Each structure stands twice: as C-alpha cells, then as structure tokens.
Amino acid sequence: MTNPLLDFSGLPRFGQIEATHVIPAIEHLLSENRQQLIDLLADSSTVFTWDNLLQVIQEMDDRLNRAWSPVSHLNSVKNSDELRAAYEHCLPLLSDYHTEIGQNNRLYQAIKSIIDSDQYDNLSPAQKKILQNKQRDFHLSGIDLDDHKKNKFKQIRQQLSKLKSSYENNVLDATNGWDKRITHKSQLSGLPESALAMAKQTAELESVEGWVFNLQFPSYFAIMTHADQRELREEFYTAYCTRASDQGPNAGQWDNTDNMERIMALRQKLAQLLDFNSYAEYSLATKMADSTNEVIEFLQQLAEKSKAVALQDIAALKAFAAKHLGIDDIQAWDLNYAAEKLRQHQYDLSQEALKPYFPENQVINGLFAIVKRLYGIEITAVSGVETWHPDVRFYEIKDARGLLRGQFYLDLYARPHKRGGAWMDECIVRYAHQGMVQIPVAYLTCNLTPPIGDEPTLFTHDEVNTLFHEFGHGLHHMLTQVDYAAVSGINGVPWDAVELPSQFMENWCWEKESLNLIARHYQTGEALPDEIFAKMTAAKNFQSGLQMLRQLEFALFDFKLHIHYQCNDQPQVQKTLDETRQQISVFLPPEFNRFQHGFSHIFSGGYAAGYYSYKWAEVLSADAFSLFEENGIFDQKTGEQFLHTILEMGGVEEPMDLFQRFRGRKPNIDALLRHSGITL
C-alpha cells in the first residue's frame, strides 16, 4: 500500500493520512537522506558546486519537510492519542538527524570550499545568503565542539524536543480537560444571545441539557467579558489561568512546572556549550537585534513611556467598577468585565454590538478585496481539495498576469482537539529549478467563534484583527519570488522581523475606506455607519496603556528568564515572572495565577528569548504603514513598493536594509506610540 506521506505529486493527502503512516514515512526519508549525503560526500576529490551539493540538499530537505509538515499540522489541529504517539516517536529521530547534519564536518568543509572558491562571486545574492546562513548555523549546531561535547549537544537537542512536545500536550489536554455545565439560565445573566447559543450548541453536541462553557477561547472570553455573576467569572478565570499547573481545579494533573525548569536548564547548558553566556545571546545570533542590552533597553523604554498611561487606565477602571458596578476590590476576573462596561459607558460601543457588521463571508471577501487593491492579486476558492475537517476551505492566489503565486488552507474555528491560538505555518515552500516552480502553500489557522446553527458566523472586531494578522504571515510566505527554499518566504527571515507583514495587515481593520469592504450588516447589507466608526476610532486606544504593559511584561519575562537562568536546581521561572511583574505591572494577578504554564510561545513554540519580536516588529509595521497614511491606504505605487521590497524578498537581504529601501530611512518609534495613543 502506498504511503500518502511519500506522495509528493501534489497537495497532502489529508483524506488518506493515518497515524500508522507517520513512522514508516519519516524513517524511510531519514534513511534515504543519510545515504544520499554519504554518497554526495564520498569522493574526497569532488569539486563541490551549488548544483552538485546545495541543490541536492535543497531537494532532500524539501522531501522531508513535505512529509513532516502535514504530520505536525494534524497533531495541532486534529490531535489524537495515536497521532500524538507517532508524532512523539519521530521527534527524537528528527532531532538527531538535524544535529548530525549540523555537525557533519565533511559537509561543513564542502560548503566552506564553495564560499572560499572563485565560483562564489558568480552566485546570486540568494545563493550567497544561504551559504552564509549555513556556515553560521554549523557553528550554532556545535561543529567546533569536540566529540564528547558534540554528543552532549545532540542529547540536549533531543531532550528539548521531547520536553517541548510534553509541554504543549499538557496545555492542550488541560484546556480540553475542564468545562462547566450550567442548567439555570439565571447564572448566565449578562451573556449575549450569541454566546448562549454557542454554549447550547456545545451541550447538544455532548448530549446534555443546559449550556456548556469551556476553556476554548471564544467560550472562555464570553464568560470573562459579559457574565454578571462574579463567582462564575472567578471560577472560569481560575480554571483558565491555572491550566497545566500545580494550582486550580485540575492541580497537578497536567503540570508543566518541571517541564519549564528542565527546558530552561537545557537551553542554558546548550548555550554554554557554544560559549554563549546565556540562551538569550545564542538566540540573538540569528536575529536583527545586536545585543541583549539593546533588547532590554528597547523594552524598558517602551515600558517607561507606557506606564503612566497604564496607571491612568487602571485608576479609571477601579473608579468605574466601584461607582457603577459595586466592585470596590477589583480582582483579575473583573478586569475584562469592567473594561467592557466602561467601554460601553464611555463610547456607547461594545464588541457584541459590532459583531453583526462582521459576518464571516463579508470579512473574508473584504480581506481578499483589500489585498487585490494593494498588490494586484486575485484570490479564489478551490473545491475538491482534501482537508482534515469539513470546515476547512482552500484558496489559490494569482497575480495580475494570471500566474499562480500561492495556495492556502483556511481553518477558522475553535474546536476540541485543536491547539489554541492562531498561526500560519508552511505546507509547501516555494523554490524553482530548471524551469520548474514549486508553488508555496500555507496553513492559516485560527480559533475564532464557530458557526451556530444556520446563522452565519459573526466575528468580533478583535477576531477580524487576528485573521488579518495571520493572513499577513501567509502573504509573506506565499508571495515570495525567491527561487531557493532556504531563504524563500519566511525562511531565513530573522525572527524579530517576521512579525512585520502580519502586524502591518492589522492596520486595514481600522480604516474607514477598508472597513467599507469588510464590514456589512449580515441582515441588511448596510455598511458600517459613520457614527459607529467614529466610536470605534475613539475607542481604539481604550486601555492601550494596560495592553502595552501586558505585552511588555511577557516580553521582559521571556528575555530576562533566558538571560539570567542558572543551572543550580533552584526553581526560577515563577521568581522571574514575579520580579518582572513587580517592576512594570500596575495590577498584580492573584498568587495562584500560573500564566507561564500555558505560555506556549516561549516554552514550546519558536519565541524563546524572542517574544520581544512582536513589539520590535510593531515598530517596523507602524512606521511602514505611516507611508500609506501619507500616500493613501490603497495607493497602488506604495502597495507595489511594499510587495517588492518586503513580501517578495524572503530572507535574501537583511530586514533593516529592506525596510530602509521601502521607507527611505531607518525606523523610529513615533508611529507605534501614536497608533497606541501614547504621547511622546
């Protein structure tokens, strides 16, 4: 029987892939790649060139990536015990393989010989950049270590791979492992009909009476924002912020405490093996920022400028809660509720009131219309494509000449057995060789409010922002014109620049001209009225100081943890978070809060010592958008300029050089502070 994971003739065969296919496919490809590399390097007299070495390696890497990508994706969006077991079996195999490649001295010397030869001058900028990155990555993979330390490095990488997977599994299981059935509607006072209908639908799917709310974000957020019953908000807050920890209703059941400390200790040991003082220093070797001091100073500068505004925000919230809500001792589970009431009081506007203007189809069609105006691309739905769930849709992108530029899967809704959050990931990466162009394909995944009955899905404005954000990542991956996979799309782009295209796209969620394309009342077709837009604009920076400090708290916690962590068997994660909060927070959460136990970005994702990237790139995105503010948000020339200098360029050039080519100068922080409503 043919293994669908080894069929590279088209898109992944999601209708055929089973957990039993995973291990045989990955083991086969790893064995095949190892033998091919041995054969490539066997003859010591070979004069290596791009075509006889790097092109072959690109094809080897692509086959492995194309097999592993659907496995990793399914593990995130359709998790099962069988798939999880197969996935986790392969993690150490892949870790070992990549470490072997990074420590293969014969391969290192072969690549170095190309860099040192006359042929190097005749290579393209993309080819040169790949060779430079590979030479750097060899050193970051331990090529300079003795055999004992190389083996130690390999063991650490393997252990980290397992621990990160264990961490993520705990978060997923803890999120799915708690819900609340409510049988008396009086307990649900304040909740809008849409939230009640969603909970009723969940109860029906579980064949129980009443309403079922859970820790999937749309359900949890509805309780925290609208439920009048304070005890109910406290119960949900406690369950959510203690997920995968030693606290809360499932204390100790999926506890990530040990996972976090072990991950941090291993990261520090890995960095020290390579003569870095900290994992933060090691992380910056592949990022835009030059030093740990530069990052800390950047974050602290933002915190200093934001704190006075945040203090005003929390004071206003406390005063309003005491005067209008009868809450004299505001707690963490009151914040979202009080903020929503205050927003309505100040601006006569609520997230719920905006939802009728953001029906799903209008938002998606409007999004496609916006990028067509900006970049001249056409996006159309494609039917008959195998997917992992009936709700998933598939689209293709063509440029103004009718050429196929990219394709993507769109998986919008929250559901059980699906990892929380929103993300873009690579399915297939673009590269070109001998007239053949491999079209890039992306996964765009969100956890937005699911449809309820026969009614169209209505999004909050925050959910619209999330969709635009992930679509910005997708455009970066799919619109690339780079012909070499290692620097195509988001590949080779420093992590603290990769958020530029995503945060950049969010700006079109706030402009009247673009809102006319995405916001239409689902019943009447009426465009968003001017008076509601005026309220949205007035409320845009509502509580912006608190929001800014919250993100800076996460970023400083992450970076300081990765700078100062010591391998001394003393717990340091909670201590570092407490110290960070004491330094910059204007509202301390309760002692039982275990936010870090679900902070997947840094413990199981790609943002270790890199969460600052969101704010770093937001400076770039706000400043980039300011050129559109000057020239018109749909100015064709400016859109083409952004397309050609940012979206199409992948990782071929340094992001700062690309930004300056687009903007005509270096970035400054002013636009970000202005957009955030924080005075200079």
- State pLDDT tens for residues 272-317: 999 999 999 999 999 999 999 999 999 999 999 999 999 999 999 9
Q: What is the mean pLDDT of residues 342-354?
A: 93
Write out the H or E segment, with its range, that includes residue 182.
strand 179-182
**pTM for the whole thing?**
0.96
Cβ distance 638 to 504 under 8 Å?
no
β 378-381/431-433 pair status: unpaired
Give the tokens for residue 393. Answer: 């849709």
* C-alpha dihedral sign at 576, 298, 541, 505: negative
Q: Which residues of 639-678 are buried (b: 16+ CB within 10 A; e: fewer)?
A: bebbbbbbbbbbbbbebeebbeebbeeebebebbbebbeb
Same fold across 4-102+104-140 and 356-540+614-675 = no
Give helix 81-102 / helix 19-41 axis angle, nearest 10°.
Answer: 10
Active-site amino acid positions: 470
For residue 504, give the nearest of 652, 359, 628 by alpha carbon. Answer: 628
Query: CA-CA distance, 36 to 168, in Å (whole number)?
Result: 34
Confidence class for position 84, pLDDT limits 50, 70, 90: very high
Amino acid at 438: Q
- What CATH number was assigned to the domain covering residues 4-102+104-140? 1.20.1050.40
Query: CA-CA distance, 626 to 675, in Å (whole number)?
Result: 10
Predicted pLDDT at 677: 86
Cβ distance 128 to 120 under 8 Å?
yes
Residues linked to residue 398 through DSSP beta bridges, in sequence order? 378, 404
Predicted pLDDT at 678: 83
Residues composing the chain? 680
For residue 474, give the nearest of 378, 397, 526, 586 by alpha carbon. Answer: 397
Predicted pLDDT at 569: 86
Q: How far is CA 244 from CA 107, 279, 456, 591, in A?
A: 42, 25, 34, 16
The residues, any chain, with a CB within 8 Å of residue 229's CB and separated by 6 or more, are: 187, 188, 189, 190
Whether residue 673 has pLDDT greater than 90: no
Amino acid at 541: N
Cβ distance 173 to 250 under 8 Å?
no
Find the distance separating the first CA and the last CA of the chain, reported in whole Å: 66
Instruction: Parse the chain into domains and list their residue ranges.
Output: 4-102+104-140, 177-241, 257-348+544-611, 356-540+614-675
* DSSP secondary structure of 518-571: H-B-TTT-PBPPHHHHHHHHHHTTTTHHHHHHHHHHHHHHHHHHHHH---SS--
> pLDDT for 265-276, tens place per residue?
999 999 999 999
Predicted pLDDT at 1: 61
Share of the chain above pLDDT 70, in %: 100
> pLDDT for 619-635, tens place per residue?
999 999 999 999 999 99
Q: What's the maximum distance between 2 C-alpha atoms anywhere in the chain?
A: 83
Query: CA-CA distance, 582 to 557, in Å (whole number)?
Result: 11
Q: What is the mean pLDDT of residues 26-47?
A: 97
Confidence class for position 675, pLDDT limits 50, 70, 90: confident
| Ordered alpha helix ranges (H), 409-489 | 461-478
Cβ distance 526 to 318 under 8 Å?
no
- What CATH number was assigned to the domain covering residues 356-540+614-675? 1.10.1370.40
Q: What is the mean pLDDT of residues 413-431?
A: 96
Cβ distance 658 to 645 under 8 Å?
yes
Q: Which residues of 212-242 are buried (b: 16+ CB within 10 A; e: fewer)?
A: bbbbbbbbbbbbbbbbebeebbebbbbbbbb
Q: How far is CA 192 from CA 70, 185, 333, 353, 414, in A?
A: 38, 12, 18, 10, 19
For residue 104, give the nearest of 168, 62, 68, 154 by alpha carbon. Answer: 154
Query: CA-CA distance, 50 to 117, in Å (whole number)?
Result: 11
The residues, any chain, with a CB within 8 Å of residue 630's CB and separated by 6 or more, are: none
Residues linked to residue 179 through DSSP beta bridges, in sequence order? 214
At the fourth CATH level, the homologous superfamily of domain 257-348+544-611 is Neurolysin, domain 3 (1.10.1370.10)
* DSSP secondary structure of 573-617: HHHHHHHHHHHH-SSPPPTT--GGGG-HHHHTSS-TTTTTHHHHH
Q: Which residues of 446-475 are buried (b: 16+ CB within 10 A; e: fewer)?
A: bbbbbebeeeebbbbbebbbbbbbbbbbbb
Cβ distance 586 to 334 under 8 Å?
no
* DSSP secondary structure of 103-151: T-HHHHHHHHHHHTSGGGGGS-HHHHHHHHHHHHHHHHTTTTS-HHHHH
